Chain A
Amino acid sequence: MKATAWMGRDSVKVVDVPDPRILNARDAIVKISSTAICGSDLHLYHGYIPALRKGDILGHEFMGEVVEVGPEVDNLAVGDRVVVPFPIACGNCVSCQQGRYSVCENSNPNAGLAEKIMGHSPAGIFGYSHLLGGYAGGQAEYARVPFADVGPIKVPDEVPDDQALMLADVFPTGYMGAEMCDITPGDVIAVWGAGPVGLLAAASARLLGAERVIVIDRYPYRLRLAAEHVGAETINYAELDVLDELNQRTAGRGPDACIDAVGLEGHHGNAAVYAYDRAKQAVRLETERPSALRQAILACRSGGVVSVIGAYGGFVDKFPIGAFMNRSLIMRTGQCHVQRYTRPLLEHIVRGDLDPSLVISHRMPLKDAAKGYRIFQKKQDDCTKVVLKV
């Protein structure tokens, strides 16, 4: 089959690899119809997530048709159209049973490696480095889906691929980011990053009853999406001082909750601060550029929530712990526990409450994956999200 393989820093290639097979009794094989490139795939593409190997198949957002099921999968049948959550979760461990699927205790065969860096191991993730399991990803014609009796959900015929595919990652991730804010009437929510996750976090915050949502980015075309499709206010940090502006707009209170939907490759309005982080990151003294996170902490009202859904992989410095501690802030974070959200969010889509496909800017065939990565990386052609059609 054809699959998108990581070939080294800033390089992917569609290559021929063997077709996947059932390895565990609870596996299914899915023939992929649509698969997307995620912002966190760009972190992998750039080589910022450790333990990636040449030849690894990328992609953790995919959907398609079940073509084979293992003997222990009784809820799916060949021919079912399904969307697959990006974290691989067994459903049997205490974490899964408490709904924390992205920290499943059993799904990372390389847990020992992850423990050395993170203390304990999170769940395995499709196409997301050897640290998180070494599972082949879904930017391919077929994928093996472990624990197929837990993760994938059937998609009704009337829901098109473009909408259902967003349930694999970006919609649940954005939704969880908003949910972690404990939104109450009157709340002002600020969202750093107007990528697909930031946009859907902003939309979800509105869905959950936020009074106002303010989205921060530097790309006018993305801010336009936030204003037009989500009804958010916007701040272009390349033009305005974000902290000043947020204080102005909230009459000095600061946002009630701040969502970091940027993650480890942030940019900063202040060239010197950006250069400092960029230089340290280049020589791997620091693995992340946490400018959005720092700003979110300083901006948040005292006692408010900082909700971190942007992806991080390693270590940061200049973390404003003084502001965080003295002002009684609360941080909530995590890779999204997608399995918890797929069904209720599918309901929202079916009811027409929210159309998550608003974030898709490009559709192209799988064979053009390298081009998709390139234009997404360089934000060419007003790119927000690339969907690869198989």
Chain B
Amino acid sequence: MDGTDPTVLDELERRSRGDGLPRLLGVVSLALGVGGLLAPRALARLAGVDDAPRAYPVIRAVAARELGHAAGLLAGRRPVGWTWTRLVGDASDLLLLGRALTGRRGERRRRAAITTGVVAGIAAVDLLAALRAGRAHRARERIITVEVGVTVNRPASEAYRFWRDLENLPHFMAHLESVRADDLRRSHWTARGPAGQPVSWDAEIVEDRPNERITWRSLPGAAVPNAGRVRFVPAPGDRGTEVRVELGYAPPAGRLGRVVAKLFGEEPEQQVRDDLRRFKQVLETGEVVRSDASPAGITLRQEFLQRPAQPLPAGRRG
């Protein structure tokens, strides 16, 4: 989709990024690596191993390793893996320090013990970072984003006006039960849950360019953080308006996340496409088009659960 501003889902991305701590650890690695190479003697004194000539090649090796970590954590595209190799490094450092402790007494033993404590502390932080980064990575993988467009034979101004009145959205968005506009920015949304229980959240409009685009996002506290943007672009010639929608959902881990994933099924795009088909029907023909086999109009679910093409029994509507 050309002309797309890639920032629409920034809000969702940021929530699940979680790579601040790995970068910080990268700085620690860099300091240790540079220190080890430039001032091995000072480092050896600090760790209480300046009495052993064999300590210097070991310190240089550790320093080189840490520079590798620093490169991976600071410049790498996926710092998650590097937090785990840092843990391996921590383990081998603790092993070496354990051996250093056994042969020493007095001040040197005290310094080696302090160093061991510091390294153990850093290892704990490394473990935390690795776990958190893994969780964030999985959360990012759960994010559902969809981009779909439809061409509507109406002017952009009319399509914008209909959409801007957010209370119209349930007319064509199948999963929405209602939207209540609290004021020009804030609104309260209620969606149909899979077992029939409603799910509600508050949202705000973050960008409103009349006849061009609307961007909205859920407010903190939504069980499923979500954001969306719709753009109205005059189609070439007399072809009406290209209505292009981007939607994003950040389902949490656990049961709710699984439910959301199930709700969207294998084809979230198809569902949004069907929503837009209904939007087109409402704008062009005035209503959602119904048939005997699909009395509620288009839905993905309905396509697979067709009733026979016979009139509905008396008393049943839609």
Contact = CB atoms under 8 A, between A and B. Distances in A.
Interface of A: 3, 5, 17-21, 23-26, 51, 53-57, 72, 90, 92-94, 97, 105-107, 109-113, 124, 127, 130, 133-137, 144, 146-147
Contacts of A106: 280-281, 284-285, 289
B293 interface: yes
A136 B308 CA distance: 8
Given A90-B285, A92-B284, A135-B291, A111 B277 contact: yes
Contacts of B157: none
Given A25-B287, A94-B153, A109 B298 contact: yes
Interface in B257-298: 270, 273-274, 277, 280-281, 284-287, 289-295, 297-298
A106 B297 CA distance: 11
B273 A112 contact: yes
8 contacts: A5-B308, A18-B310, A23-B290, A26-B285, A94-B151, A109-B294, A135-B292, A135-B293
Contact of B311 (A19, A97, A124): A19
Contacts of A17: 310-311
Given A56-B309, A97-B153, 18 more contacts: A18-B311, A21-B312, A21-B314, A24-B287, A53-B293, A53-B309, A55-B309, A56-B293, A90-B284, A90-B289, A93-B153, A109-B302, A112-B277, A130-B293, A134-B291, A134-B292, A135-B291, A135-B309
Nearest to B297: A109
A109 B290 contact: yes
Interface string B166-207: 000000000000000000000000000000000000000000
Q: Which of B153, B293, B298 has the most CB of A within 10 A?
A: B293
A146 B292 contact: no
Given A94-B240, A97-B153, A135-B293, A113 B303 contact: yes
Contacts of B306: 51, 53, 110, 130, 134
Interface in B304-318: 306-314, 318
B231 to A, nearest CB: 20
A349 to B, nearest CB: 30
B312 A133 contact: no
Nearest to B277: A111
Contact of B308 (A20, A55, A93, A94): A55
Contact of B295 (A23, A111, A113, A147): A23
Contact of B290 (A24, A51, A113, A137): A24
Contacts of A19: 311, 314
A377 to B, nearest CB: 21
Contacts of A25: 286-287
Contacts of B309: 53, 55-57, 127, 130, 134-137
Interface of B: 151, 153, 238-240, 270, 273-274, 277, 280-281, 284-287, 289-295, 297-298, 300, 302-303, 306-314, 318
Nearest to B237: A94
Given A20-B311, A57-B309, A127-B309, A112 B270 contact: yes
B311 A136 contact: yes
Nearest to A129: B309
Nearest to A97: B153
B235 to A, nearest CB: 9
Nearest to A107: B289
Q: Which of A111, A112, A127, A136 has the most CB of B within 10 A?
A: A112
Contacts of B300: 112
A123 to B, nearest CB: 11
B287 A3 contact: no
Nearest to B304: A113
A135 B293 CA distance: 6
A93 B238 CA distance: 11
A110 B301 CA distance: 11
Contacts of A97: 153
Nearest to B306: A130
A17 B286 CA distance: 29
Contact of A134 (B240, B274, B293): B293
Contacts of B307: 134
A53 B302 CA distance: 14
Contact of A5 (B274, B302, B310): B310
Contacts of B151: 94
A137 B297 CA distance: 18
Contacts of B291: 109-110, 124, 133-135, 146
A135 B294 CA distance: 8
Given A94-B240, A109-B289, A111-B277, A21 B294 contact: no
Contacts of B239: 94
A105 B292 contact: no
